[in-house]
Amino acid sequence: MQQLNSLIREASDLAMGTPESEADRMLQICNACRYCEGFCAVFPAMTRRIEFTPSVVYYLANLCHNCGACLHACQYAPPHEFAVNIPMVMAQLRKETYMSYAWPRMMGELYKINGVAVALSASVSVMVFLLLALALNGKFFGGVLDGNFYAVFPHNTLVMIFGIVFGFAILALAIGLTRFWQEMSPGRASGGAVAEATHDALTLKYLGGGHGDGCNNEDDAFSLWRKRFHHFTFYGFMLCFAATSVATIYHYFLGLHAPYALNSLPVILGTLGGVGLVIGPVGLLYLNIQRDPAHGDRSQKPMDRAFIVLLLLISISGLGLLAYRDTVSMSIWLVVHLGFVMGLFLTMPYGKFAHGFYRLAALLKNSIEKRQKNHLQFGAD
């Protein structure tokens, strides 16, 4: 105990510095304490190391699901003089990760003003689609178009515009993730490691808390609602993506063109996805507003909330477009919906959307190293 206390004092004497040096200081304390070992994957991964270089702390930060449990359990948390706050420093490091690995690198600066960037890109996109509709049709309201979106914007025009922006977003995300992956030096992924990481990501295992009771949100009470609302959001998004994919197959391979009937597969998938994408973001926004500020990085609140609100606007406008597609207001719903979707695509590689990919990479790295014979990664980056 005496040795532990001297290590803690030595570590706490270090000047408060960057998130990387703060994480190093705190993790040295945690590595001596190890009280939280059963909470999540971060602490077992930490015990495999004695050095916490920037690439190691970026890996651990993305492995952290920000459940908040280790802050409420910690005897060295503020107001203790050692001021250990793992959820906060991990949140700060996640932002550092996104900024450091962004491609092109200078675009990583957008993370600093992400809330404004999302609001601007979404509203400018709505304006651009409004002007495009006018330019293509000479007027905005084209009467009742029987749900035919392509009477407002030709199919090929939409495919070209969204294809270019989406393609760039995927490329930028892929380059950033590849850099992150290479710096983590993960080793070879076996089938078992891939399966475990996929399972842990799809079930959001580490939002379940160490005992399956869930996360802490506004206080030290545990709740599964953050996990549930994440699931509504993620699976809602995936259903919307599936709806678009099925519609693409219908269009190009089956010669079946929109508008599709209410009981068709693209409409059913899109409607279910849209409903999930309303319930999830509404719940996440509520929890975010209620959240104990000590759990995270205050500077990232605008980014978190802008992303949640944008998803909500996409789903509400999408459902509105479906509900009013046979009326004269269809064009306005279409312009607004496309503008919000474009706002998401433009900010995808430089906003909250990226967090799922970085977290998946960290989960895979964790599954790989658990299976390595030499578990201790002493000196490993």
Pick 30 or 338: Cβ nearer ligand SF4: 30
Rounded CA gap, 137 and 129, in Å?
12
User: Smallest distance from the beta carbon of 224 to ligand SF4, in angstroms?
Assistant: 14
Pick 57 or 269: Cβ nearer ligand SF4: 57
Pick 68 or 320: Cβ nearer ligand SF4: 68
| Interaction of residue 35 with ligand SF4, rule CB under 6 A | yes
Binding mask 108-127 for ligand SF4 (x = CB under 6 A): --------------------
User: Smallest distance from the beta carbon of 84 to ligand SF4, in angstroms?
Assistant: 5
Piece of 14-22, 26-34, 196-204, 239-247 that binds ligand SF4 (CB under 6 A): 26-34
CB atoms under 10 Å from CB of 263, counted, come to: 7
Contact positions with ligand SF4 (CB under 6 A) in 149-208: 206
| Interaction of residue 76 with ligand SF4, rule CB under 6 A | yes
| Interaction of residue 355 with ligand SF4, rule CB under 6 A | no
Piece of 14-22, 51-59, 64-72, 263-271 that binds ligand SF4 (CB under 6 A): 64-72
| Interaction of residue 62 with ligand SF4, rule CB under 6 A | no
| Interaction of residue 68 with ligand SF4, rule CB under 6 A | yes
Rounded CA gap, 248 and 251, in Å?
5
Piece of 49-57, 70-78, 107-115, 317-325 that binds ligand SF4 (CB under 6 A): 70-78
- Count of chain residues binding ligand SF4 (CB under 6 A): 25
| Interaction of residue 57 with ligand SF4, rule CB under 6 A | no
Task: Output the 3-class SS for the chain.
Answer: CHHHHHHHHHHHHCCCCCHHHHHHHHHHHHHHHCCCCCCCCHHHHHHCCCCCCHHHHHHHHHHCCCCCHHHHHCCCCCCCCCCCCHHHHHHHHHHHHHHHHCCCHHHHHHHHHHHHHHHHHHHHHHHHHHHHHHHHHCCCCCCCCCCCHHHCCCHHHHHHHHHHHHHHHHHHHHHHHHHHHHHHCCCCCCHHHHHHHHHHHHCCHHHCCCCCCCEECCCCCEECHHHHHHHHHHHHHHHHHHHHHHHHHHHHHCCCCCCCCCCCHHHHHHHHHHHHHHHHHHHHHHHHHHCCHHHCCHHHHHHHHHHHHHHHHHHHHHHHHHHCCCCCCHHHHHHHHHHHHHHHHHHHHHCHHHHHHHHHHHHHHHHHHHHCCCCCCCCCC
Pick 33 or 311: Cβ nearer ligand SF4: 33
| Interaction of residue 221 with ligand SF4, rule CB under 6 A | no
Question: Of these, 62, 66, 233, 367, which contacts ligand SF4 (CB under 6 A)?
Answer: 66
Pick 94 or 337: Cβ nearer ligand SF4: 94
Piece of 36-44, 147-155, 258-266, 268-276 that binds ligand SF4 (CB under 6 A): 36-44
User: Smallest distance from the beta carbon of 223 to ligand SF4, in angstroms?
Assistant: 13
Residues with Cβ within 8 Å of residue 26, at least 6 apart in sequence: 11, 84, 85, 86, 89
Pick 42 or 269: Cβ nearer ligand SF4: 42
Pick 227 or 325: Cβ nearer ligand SF4: 227
Residues in touch with ligand SF4 (CB under 6 A): 29-30, 33-36, 39-40, 42, 64-70, 73-76, 84, 86-87, 90, 206
